[in-house]
Structure 1
Amino acid sequence: MTTFQQPLPAEAARQHKRSSKLQILRKALFIFLGAALVSVALEIFLVPNQIIDGGVTGVSIIAQHLSGLPLGVFLTLINLPFLFLGYKQIGKTFAVSTLYGVIIMSVGTALLHPVEPLTLDPLLAAVFGGIILGVGVGIVIRAGGSLDGTEIVAILVNKKSPFSVGEIVLFINVFILGSAGFVFGWDHAMYSLIAYYIAFKMIDVTIEGFDESKSVWIISENSKTIGDALLQRLGRGVTYLNGEGGYSGDDKQVIFCVVTRLEQAKLKSIVEELDPGAFLAIGNIHDVKGGRFKKKDIH
């Protein structure tokens, strides 16, 4: 007879410590990669074409243009007060991760500054610079850090104002991007808006992924039949929840499941086929972890 022993407390502690070290190393690598990509976007595409980003990065590019000092100096110095606020109000881990990312980004811009830009076409620079910038920032955010102090300000102001974090960041960036018109000319300000919009979208894609998940709620008299069909034909597990109709007072069985964006159309067709009158609600999910989300093989 084989017996299984639970890990001793000391062994469990060592395993936890090893796991924590691996997580820290993985986080550091991703922040390094993201900050390096941002450096490439700035020095190889945006800065040589006098195109700016929003936030501290945009202010730093303008300051570098007016003073002639290295971009990395302003990226570090302007971010420092915001990092102090983040340390006091948000937490040590976030502040340290952000400081690490800002240092990597600043050093990267210094190393890449002598490199010739890949293009001097401002439109191409705005498009490709925006893509690389957005992917880099998205990687850093997914790793739990940040590269811009204005996000910290927005989080703190949001706690004491009716405006959302996104609205506050947008207001700050509109002011900064508008300032580019007076410094670089209005053509470059408009190219900066293009780069900012592309970067904004790429941040979302990087954080959420191309294979975006959807939460699905289905209320039907044929809930068991639909649930079995989703399991067999779509390969997705379902959860049955008990509910009560607010108007009728009747007992209802609610189906809940999570699918990918690509599976959404097939799910709709299955529900429509089995119960055309079923209530169906689909929403976006930014992150899915644990449980039985992994798709089952369909034979």
Structure 2
Amino acid sequence: MAGGAIQGLGMGLFLFPHSIPSGGAGGITVLLNHWFNIGMGQALWIVNFTLLFVGIHYLGKRFAIWTVIAITMTSLSVVFFEQFSIPNRNLLYDLIFGSVFLGTGIGLLLRQGVSNGGIGVVALIISTRRKILPGRPLFLINIIIFMFTAVIVDWKLIFLALISQWISTVVVDLVCQVSFQQSYSLNWRKKP
């Protein structure tokens, strides 16, 4: 739940005010809207539902339940944080802070075998099967989707989205690598 809330903070408070896409599912949603004139909310639901169904097949029911909880928590926190406004916004600061929070939230979710929805499902399947960190497949898949979307729809915000993806996926891998065991263990002192 913390991962979903932190991800929502990055998106709702820092990235979405500048219309910076936060992932590949958003890119696919834009394409569905462009090609088939499907509403954005409905298209996003179709993308997430389809990828969630694929995830259930490869990763199991526990994955599906917690992914639905994570997606719900992210959505609620986006709605909550969109209400706040930062005076004198700076695009560069918002891009960096939003990407770090986004990556931290996604990393916490992926670390627990839970997806943030969308392309995170595919990245988790690849990282589980290949025994690699999830950041690299997440970044590569999102880049391909962003480039394809840019060619079809518009190039304007794709560069910011690519920078955001690079920062957030580096943070995802850092969060997945760091050992938090001693930081929350009651047995932090060694006995002589």
Query: TM-score, normalization: structure 2?
Result: 0.72
Cα distance, 1:128 vs. partner? 0.6
Matched residue type, 1:98: T
Can you give the 5+ residue segments of structure 1 that lack an aligned partner in the other structure?
Answer: 1-30, 213-285
CA RMSD of aligned residues (A): 3.8
Q: Tell me which protein shows more strand as a share of its residues.
A: 1
Give CA-to-partner distance per residue, 1:96-115, whole Å, 9 cap, x none: 11111112212332344444
Contact kept in structure 2, 1:134 and 1:203, CA below 8 Å:
yes
Q: Measured at CA, do residues 52 and 131 of structure 1 come closer, stay the same or move farther in structure 2, by a change above 3 Å?
A: same
Contact kept in structure 2, 1:38 and 1:137, CA below 8 Å:
yes
Q: Measured at CA, do residues 133 and 75 of structure 1 come closer, stay the same or move farther in structure 2, by a change above 3 Å?
A: farther
Cα distance, 1:56 vs. partner? 1.6
Which structure has more relative contact order (CA 8 Å, sep 6+)? It is 2
Q: How is 1:1-299 mapped onto 2 (pairs within 5 angstroms)?
A: 31=1, 33-60=2-29, 62=30, 75-117=44-86, 120-154=89-123, 168-179=137-148, 181=150, 183=153, 185-186=155-156, 188-209=157-178, 296=190
Give CA-to-partner distance per residue, 1:186-213, whole Å, 9 cap, x none: 4x3222222111111211222222xx6x
Matched residue type, 2:72: I
Give CA-to-partner distance per residue, 1:260-299, whole Å, 9 cap, x none: xxxxxxxxxxxxxxxxxxxxxxxxxx989xxxx977467x
Q: Tell me which protein shows more helix as a share of its residues.
A: 2
Identity of aligned residues (%): 24
- Distance in 1 between the 2:136 and 2:175 partners? 21
Looking at CA atoms only, which structure, 1 or 2, has the larger radius of gyration?
A: 1
Can you give the 5+ residue segments of structure 2 that lack an aligned partner in the other structure?
Answer: none
Contact kept in structure 1, 2:108 and 2:176, CA below 8 Å:
yes
Matched residue type, 1:80: F
Query: TM-score, normalization: structure 1?
Result: 0.49
Aligned length: 183
